[in-house]
Structure 1
Amino acid sequence: MENGLDSHWKRTLGMFATNFERAFKNQDKGIRLNFEYYDESTADIPKLAKDLAFRDDIYAVIGGLYSSNAEELAAGLTPAGKTYFTLATAEQLIRAYASTGYLWAMTETDITQCEVLLSKVINYGGKSVALLAKDNDAYGQTFLDWFAFQSKELGLENKGVFAYDNTTLADMARQAMQSGAEYVVCVPSEIEEIGPMLQISEIQPRDGTSRPRLLFSDTAYGIDVLTVYGDIAEGIEGVAFGADPESGFDVSYKTFFDDASTVGEAQLYDAAMLIGYAAWLRLLEPEVPLQKALRRIVSGEDLNMGSWTGEDMGLVVDALSRGASPYVKGASGHLRFDSKVFTNVLATTYHNFKVYNGIYIILDYNTSDGGNRTEATLAGWNWKASQMQDFNDSGDITYPE
């Protein structure tokens, strides 16, 4: 919650609470979620997980922006039967705790993110790649496990996999930059590791070849990165999970708060929304446990009721009260989970981002749901959203007779 992130999480959940209250306008009773906040960067995670796991007044836990913290939270929460929604993306986390039935991952694993990053290299006309990732780390391990295989499958020349630890980052980064690769995929596990990567990338290779182009993973996307690095962050490019552009979440967020959303906000909103729907279903059918309620919510096959706004959520709430099973979408897109263990969301929208003039701009979108988002779709949506007339602020208009 440091470096400006706290205002983003509270802002998003505040917006959700307002919209969710509006969703019950046709009902004589409703659901309100109360939120407690803990900072994963300062808390004693194992102790916090144990405390929350055995508190009867805690309905569910959302969090774990960093995979190492998410792993500790999952270890304490899921065996105790506490529902846990995470934004973390490490494949090992899913493999270890899917069987508990209480882990809900709001993004696909980094197997997909690694493939999207390599696809960007191909889109840019690149022929060779190298990987720089942290060793013995849950987040970096997924990339280390899959990079060589995926690069070969995609027809890219792998110039090397460079695994670093806390003492060898500078040396491994230098080796990666001098490997002869046209592109280096950088996977910092913490934002403090981005700086050394950027500094070493400015060093000219000894053989006189051009410096490689860097593509960062989602750790490099966020208001905290801009807060820490300022002008140094200019030009950072990479891939991060985010909102589905067709949902309008990012544009609405910018309109409401005059600020761009940060990584994970759409997924945070959707996690709260699913918990709210499940709580409502349990109010209607008290005998249904929370996990079964959540599984029913994400398995609905009836008519889609819209997305994340108060009006859309109101349609879902009304449908559930009638005993229907609506198809649920959210700010991040389709909220479909694997049908066996219901752990991983099946489709994630990835933003191809770049820092330009001190802000993040989105160059393109990619999904794994068969609906690849292109620049043309994005441009059309942004034009429509920015040019649409605001009927609540029309000013003084004098009409002729």
Structure 2
Amino acid sequence: MTLRPLHPGPGLLPVVMLLCIVTAAFSSAGCTALAGTDAAPVRIGVLLPANGPLAMHGLDSLAWAVDALNRQGGFDGRPIELIYRDTSTGNISAYAEELAGRGDIGVIIGPATSAELSEIAPLVTSQGKILISPSATSGLITAGFAESDRVWRTCAVDGQQVKAVFRVLHDDGVRNVSLITADATYGETFARLAPGAAAMTGIRITGAVSVDASDDVAGLAARIGEEDPDMVVAAVYPEDAARIADALDAAGSSADLFLTDACRSPYLLEALGERAEGVRGTSLTSDPSTGFAIAYEETFGEMPPPFAAETYDALLLAVYTAARQEAAPAESPAESLRRVVSGDGITKGWDPQEAGEAIATLRTGGHPAVTGASGPLRFGARSSAGPLVGYYTCWAVEGGAFCESTPVPSADVSPALPGLSYDPAGDTGDDRPVVWMVYPLVKGDRSFADSAYRGLFRAQESFSIVKRECTYGDLPLLDAVFAAQTFTEKPDLVITEGFQFTDASRRWAEANPGIRFFTLEQADYGLPNACDVVMVPYGASYLAGVMAANITSTGRIGAIAGAPVSVIDPFVEGFRAGSEAYDPSVNVTVRYVGESFAGFGMPERAGEIARELRNEGVDVILMIAGSSNTGIVDAVRETGDVYLIGEDTDQSYLAPSLVVASVVKQIDRIVCHAVEEEVSGAFTPGREVWTLENDGTGLFISPRFADYAWAATDWRERAIAAEKEYLKTAVI
């Protein structure tokens, strides 16, 4: 794997420094990430591959995390430093012995595979050191190291994935499968647990076999042809998956291929090329409410690969253990790590600011409830069993890329944003502007909230601020705080997002004239401390209607909205107007998921409506239902004969071959602009209206549908003119 340079921005380390962090020739002195300090670094060992088919385990995440934490100040000025050994070259046992034998390393991150973990864990733990693997998922590890408190995993175990696989297949109507598992520690869990999971879902396993690199997969494909299963489930590594796919194709098998997390690798796409189209599978993913995937994409220009979040979390646990050791040096590292993951204080998230505050709190003996990029960092009695909750997604190869369905947790969990205040040891003297971001929902809606977080993250990278995040679910707490003005950390700027905050924003702003408020999609308050922004998507939706009317082959198009609320009206009216302007004979059907704000968070109901519209002949759907949009996408994927238009942000990643365009609101740019004005002292109260004409909204054409760019260009002036007419009478 080649380390990609970070997104350029203030304070980021030069690329040479990042290369220094992850070079296999990293010396015992290392590269100092905080120039000019004489303090001893906090050193962490790393045993992960940089090259080969398994090189997908998040080295970028490690470099990014270390750089960001060091920019936050590290350990009160002491830099965090990685001592890295590339396990794709050399002898992993020798590397493990070397790092475990160093007196300045207490925690080692790695290895990548379950077989490697079984090999090196005794070498590491016998030296009293902790081993944290972000990607060794075999259930055998739990049993093999049940008595050890020094073997940890930040990835959920394969037993949870086995259940997820057969649940997905059952929901897809699959009744017979042929099972192929790797003849390795990784595959053993699937081979052992699959029969039980299949029986619980009513699926019959027609045949099961374990394979290694020397096995004749052509003969295996012939046998599978005789079994005639609906699906071939292969829990193997990418090289074997490519060989199996080729053999099934050569044998003329009609069975589809369903893979597991190890195969969600760029190697699979490179090895199979166009033949990878339609291949599906499951894999671990990050908790969408953390915003990690958004921040990663903003930094690297692509969605995080499998185990990137788990690798990031392994670093957090290593650093937090070191912080706890400073507060309680008499504890063993294992005792300190157990203390870290049992925190019951204020919640602290994964991002560098929150993690830096967690470090400071732990160093002073505090007990924060730490969460990670992958989700809650909560563990049972056996650390080797991995976290209690993991997030899984069903992926498919579409248009030469991986696209994913809605992530779901393996157990019941309530997403929680970090707490409002931070006070580890009284007044810290931090004079940075404090910005509160209040979302309509927790992050993960792939729409309104996520776009706002993208802007907030961009602002964090560009300006020196302290951010706090809340949601509509925190309304009672926020009401009480603003009414009583009981601030432990008074905000300078509060950004509220969504029409449901209309009354609350007014109350808060009127009661707190010394705080500036930036409101999105609410009302014109006319207050001297409020800037009220409205984004009118009429013109952009007009263009979407033009495009939809051109695409449809049935003459029937539709829109699925979250609820019949005012913020939805410009979408619907613009969509109707554009369709009628292009072809008056096209029928437009509008359906609502719910009657209130709850309709924007009901993906299953939205999916049902999408199926109803498809049955009525609708073949193009505008999705304006917030997080419910994911249910629409999942439903349309079932037949692949309906095209979709997303909302608020580019949603082509949801289904690259189905989402032709998105009606976008530049929420991210507006949020970042709001923070920039606060930082520069240029906050301006009043009403701001963003439209198609001033580029506050627009129609984004998805990459695979560039031939429809004419809709956004040739019809732009007519859409602007129509939008101006609409604004003459519309109440916004």
* TM-score, normalized by the shorter chain, greater than 0.5: yes
Asked whether the 8 Å contact 1:128–1:182 carries over to 2, the reply is yes
Query: How far is 1:3 from its partner?
Result: 4.9
CA RMSD of aligned residues (A): 3.0
How is 1:39-50 mapped onto 2 (pairs within 5 angstroms)? Answer: 39-50=86-97
Matched, 1:114 2:183: no
- Amino acid of the residue matched to residue 249 of structure 1? F
- Match for 1:258: what amino acid? G
How far off is 1:339 after superposition? Answer: 2.6
The one-letter code sitting in structure 2 at the alignment partner of 1:14 is A
Q: Which of 340, 362, 371 is equivalent to 1:329?
A: 371
Aligned partners of 2:53, 2:64: CA distance in 1, in Å? 17
Cα contact 2:324–2:362 (8 A) shared by 1: yes
**Match for residue 238 of structure 2?**
191
Partner SS, residue 147 of structure 2: helix
Q: Deviations over 1:286-340 (max 9, x none)?
A: 22221111100001122322x2112211332343245331111100001111135
* Distance change (3 Å), C-alpha of 1:148 and 1:8: closer
In structure 1, the partner of 2:333 is 290
Deviation string, structure 1 residues 49-82 (Cα, Å, up to 9, x no partner):
2222222233221122222222212232223322
Task: Tell me if structure 2 keeps the 8 A contact 1:247–1:331.
Answer: yes
The structure-2 alpha-carbon separation of the partners of 1:322 and 1:37, relative to structure 1 and needing over 3 Å to count, comes to closer
Aligned match of 1:2: 51
Pairwise CA distance, 1:117: 0.7
Correspondence 1:182 to 2:225: no
Matches within 5 A, 1:344-359: 344-359=386-401
Superposed, 1:1-400 pairs within 5 Å as 1-3=50-52, 9-24=58-73, 29-86=76-133, 87-135=135-183, 137-165=184-212, 166-188=214-236, 190-203=237-250, 211-305=254-348, 307-341=349-383, 343-371=385-413, 378-380=445-447, 382=450, 385=454, 386=649, 387-390=666-669, 391-392=671-672
- Match of 1:280, SS state, is helix
Unaligned runs of 5+ in 1: none
Q: Which has the higher contact order (CA 8 A, sep 6+)?
A: 1
SS at match of 1:333: coil
For 1:157 and 1:302, locate their aligned partners in 2 and report how far apart those are by CA, in whole Å: 48
Shift of 1:197: 1.4
One-letter identity of the residue aligned with 2:66: A
Matched letter for residue 319 of structure 2: G
Distance of aligned partners of 1:383 and 1:131 in 2 relative to their CA distance in 1, 3 Å threshold: farther
Percent identity over the alignment is 24
- Deviation (angstroms), 1:214: 1.5
SS in 2 for 1:68: helix
CA shift digits 1:346-368 (9 cap, x unpaired): 11111211222222111232221
Go from structure 1 to structure 2 and tell me whether the alpha carbon gap of 1:294 and 1:237 turns closer, same or farther (over 3 Å shift). Answer: same
TM-score with structure 2 setting the length: 0.49
Distance in 2 separating the partners of 1:234 and 1:382: 28
Q: Take 2:363 and 2:99, find their aligned partners in 1: how far apart are those partners?
A: 30
Residue 185 to residue 342, structure 1, CA distance change in 2 (3 Å): closer
C-alpha displacement at 1:90, in angstroms?
A: 1.0
Q: Residue 139 of structure 2 contacts residue 159 of structure 2 at CA under 8 Å; is this kept in 1?
A: yes
Distance in 1 (alpha carbons) for counterparts of 2:275 and 2:333: 46
Q: Which has the larger radius of gyration?
A: 2
Would the alpha carbon gap of residues 174 and 388 (structure 1) be closer, same or farther in structure 2, given more than 3 Å must change? farther
3-state SS, counterpart of residue 17 of structure 1: helix
2: CA distance, partners of 1:5 / 1:164: 18
- Contact 1:82-1:102 at 8 Å conserved across structures: yes
Q: How many residues align?
A: 390
Distance 1:236 1:40, change over 3 A: farther
Residues 226-284 of structure 1, C-alpha deviation per residue, up to 9 Å, x if partnerless? Answer: 34444443332101112111111111111111122111110110010111111112122
Which shows bigger deviation, 168-177 or 233-242? 168-177
User: Equivalents in 2 of 1:314, 1:204: separation in Å?
Assistant: 56
- Give the match's secondary structure for 1:313: helix
Over 3 Å counting, the alpha-carbon distance change for 1:259 and 1:339 in structure 2 is same
What amino acid is the match of 2:409?
A: T
What is the rounded CA distance, in whole Å, between the counterparts of 2:367 and 2:222 in structure 1? 54
Alignment-mate amino acid for residue 402 of structure 2 = Y
Whole-Å Cα distance in 1 between the matches of residues 129 and 451 of structure 2?
A: 43
Q: Is this contact kept in 1: 2:155–2:387, CA < 8 A?
A: yes
Deviation of 1:204 after TM superposition, in Å, equals 6.0
TM-score by length of 1: 0.87
**Structure 2 unaligned spans of 5+:** 1-49, 416-442, 455-648, 650-665, 687-732
